[in-house]
A and B are shown apart, each in its own frame.
Chain A
Amino acid sequence: MSEITQEQVAHLANLARIALTPQEIASLTTELGSIVDNVAKVSEVATADVPATSHPIPLQNVYRPDVPGTTLTTEQALAGAPDHDGSRFRVTAILGEEQ
């Protein structure tokens, strides 16, 4: 059985800035738990001699040449923004600071 706790779900929700009700936390804890259990089944077939992978396709070194391409116009860039000042995105005041 999974070890996902309600505290972990509440913590993740906080990090992701998603407000959850206690009911939602309870149901998500159960759902996340079963997802983790299902994924964990992989470890039943993955023995020590199977290396961990972050990618299913055996590709590497896929690079782009260092040549500038087409950019968005400011209008295009801002088209989907909930709010802007004509050239910059406008967001609500941020508590905390730059990373």
Chain B
Amino acid sequence: MAKAQLMDFDKALELFEPVLGFEVHVELNTKTKMFSDAPNYFGGEPNTNITPVDLGLPGSLPVVNGEAVRYSISLGLALGCSIAPSSRFARKNYFYPDLAKNYQISQFDEPIAFGGSVDVELPDGRMFTVPIERAHMEEDAGKLTHVGGATGRIQGAEYSLVDYNRAGVPLVEIVTDIIYGAEKDAPELAKAYVSTIRDIVVALGISDARMERGNLRCDANISLRPRTAPGEPPAKLGTRTETKNVNSLRSVERAIRYEIQRQAQILADGGTIIQETRHWHEDTGTTSAGRPKSDADDYRYFPEPDLLPVVPSPELIEELRAALPEPPAARRRRLKQEWGFTDLEFQDVQNAGLLVEVAETVAAGASPQAARKWWSGEISRLANAREAEASSLVSPADVAALVALVDSGALNDRLARQVLEGVIDGEGTPQEVVDARGLAVVSDDGALIAAIDEALAAQPDVLAKIKDGKVQAAGAVIGAVMKAMKGQADAARVRELVLERAAAS
């Protein structure tokens, strides 16, 4: 496949206005699935968490998970939506083996929540209001593994294997209205929007929201329309593409930027944009054409006859509204103050999408500054090097444990970085890595003193200088001791002991 030509981003923005739309799927963390009492858990042994309902076996009937309805209403309210006095489920018919029934139970003309908005903070601190069209309940699909063919991808596959553990997992799909006016901030807005949705569902406690595990997935719609002269009516909307498989915050931003540049070049060359699904490839940072929108999109929705309408009482809605956590913007203001971060420190954390991680690390006992230092520093550095999301590398609990080991003096910064790499490589908790690799700081003064005495004896001229009061000369001895200890010593303590031993000799 020929590599797509890309227009310079700034030039693309001179010629065209980007118009956006997002569909974010949130997997709810209820204990059971949307319509069956199978455990809401996947990733283990294939086809173990399924019931006849999840397989669509004859005679089985779905029943709505009441907790999933409550979660969905809470999410709708947090998105500023109205809650439908009555909503119902619908069958979305399509033939693909990721669902065994040949349809997905979703909501179509009567979603549970509609007409809201979300305030999103751009990297420079400006607020942007993203209009929300609707949020509706549906079920997730099973997982297909394509086997055979040259690349293991769909084209050329000989057969596919299906695991239905994920089939029926409760989802809420959040659909934005058309988003105008993002302009050059479109990529950053996309990232900030998905990050805000993640903050909201985490604050509500209704989803694990791990993007790398697919708990939160974003489909990004984008089209370009030519700019018109001032005073002229705006041009009509361009043809849009829908980029799927965008499963990290960093990908959301990159995918939007890429599609703007790709579409702009095609349009500038006199070409046309095909309305199609495009797949995001994390490794190459590009999108490729999927299937064109066609007959297959004729889903023949009709009301699900096996399920009854969802009619939440005003009392229930008000109860859930009263229990809502503070809105993201207010929460950010509060956390910034509580943590005592500067504007710059806070924005770094916020823009890296690490607010949740820092908050959870602080909640696990670390100081805010230490939590920020690790997430924005070493963990982000490793995430970049590994082209991964920082949040996917290590848990806040492990970071807090690492900070505790440093605070207690068991680790110095250099050793702690080694321990962090061990944790990321799956060697266990920080303490387990310390034990397994023998990385603890040598805090046994006896061992240190022996090394110091040896170093002083080896460098009599340095000893003489120290005794003369030239304390800075101690550096050479400290260096030798640290080397002898393979770096596993607290340099400040070594310095103290060197001065003591020199004075006493």
- A66's closest neighbor in chain B, by CB? B67
Give the segment of B48-56, B249-257, B353-361, B412-420 that binds chain A.
B48-56
Give the segment of A23-31, A32-40, A41-49, A55-63 that binds chain B.
A55-63
| Known A-B contacts A64-B64, A89-B162; A69 and B37 likewise in contact (beta carbons under 8 Å) | yes
List residues of chain B with CB within 8 A of the CB of A97: 154, 277, 279, 290-291
> Is B209 an interface position by the 8 A CB rule?
no
- Total number of A-B contacts with CB less than 8 angstroms? 152
Whether A93 pairs with B158 at a CB distance below 8 angstroms is: yes
- Once bound together, how far apart are the Cα atoms of A68 and B65, in whole Å? 11
Whether A98 pairs with B98 at a CB distance below 8 angstroms is: yes
Give the segment of B294-302, B324-332, B467-475, B481-489 that binds chain A.
B294-302
- A74's closest neighbor in chain B, by CB? B47
Q: Among A59, A62, A74, A90, which residue has its beta carbon within 8 angstroms of that of B45?
A: A74
Dominant secondary structure of chain A at its interface with chain B = loop
Which of A65, A67, A71, A92 has the most chain B CB atoms inside 10 A of its CB?
A71
- A86's closest neighbor in chain B, by CB? B46
Whether B63 pairs with A89 at a CB distance below 8 angstroms is: no
- Once bound together, how far apart are the Cα atoms of A88 and B98, in whole Å? 12
Q: Could you say which interface size class chain A belongs to?
A: 35 or more
- B104's closest neighbor in chain A, by CB? A99
List residues of chain B with CB within 8 A of the CB of A62: 63-64, 308
A7 to chain B, nearest CB (A): 12
A13 to chain B, nearest CB (A): 11
Contact indicator per residue, chain B 23-60, by CB within 8 Å of chain A (1) or not (0): 00000001110000111000001111111100101000
A65 to chain B, nearest CB (A): 7
Whether B38 pairs with A87 at a CB distance below 8 angstroms is: no
Whether A17 pairs with B46 at a CB distance below 8 angstroms is: no
List residues of chain B with CB within 8 A of the CB of A74: 45-48
- Once bound together, how far apart are the Cα atoms of A98 and B104, in whole Å? 12
Whether B52 pairs with A94 at a CB distance below 8 angstroms is: no
- A77's closest neighbor in chain B, by CB? B47
- Once bound together, how far apart are the Cα atoms of A99 and B242, in whole Å? 12
> Is B161 an interface position by the 8 A CB rule?
yes
Whether A96 pairs with B291 at a CB distance below 8 angstroms is: yes
- A80's closest neighbor in chain B, by CB? B57
Give the segment of B141-149, B180-188, B338-346, B382-390 that binds chain A.
B141-149
List residues of chain A with CB within 8 A of the CB of B65: 63-64, 66
| Known A-B contacts A60-B308, A66-B66, A90-B161; A17 and B95 likewise in contact (beta carbons under 8 Å) | yes
The B56-76 residues at the A interface (CB cut-off 8 A) are 57, 63-69
- B94's closest neighbor in chain A, by CB? A99
> Is B86 an interface position by the 8 A CB rule?
yes
Whether A92 pairs with B159 at a CB distance below 8 angstroms is: yes
- B86's closest neighbor in chain A, by CB? A60
List residues of chain B with CB within 8 A of the CB of A17: 95
Q: A16-B95, A90-B162 are in contact. List 11 more A-B contacts (CB 8 A).
A: A15-B95, A62-B308, A64-B32, A69-B32, A71-B39, A71-B48, A91-B159, A91-B161, A93-B149, A96-B96, A98-B96
A-B contacts, 30 of them at CB < 8 A, read A11-B298, A14-B295, A54-B88, A60-B86, A61-B308, A62-B64, A63-B63, A65-B66, A67-B31, A68-B32, A70-B37, A71-B49, A72-B52, A74-B47, A85-B161, A88-B161, A88-B162, A89-B47, A89-B97, A89-B161, A90-B159, A90-B161, A90-B162, A91-B159, A91-B161, A93-B148, A93-B149, A93-B160, A95-B154, A97-B279
6 shortest interchain CB distances as A-B pairs: A63-B66, A54-B303, A69-B37, A66-B67, A88-B161, A89-B162
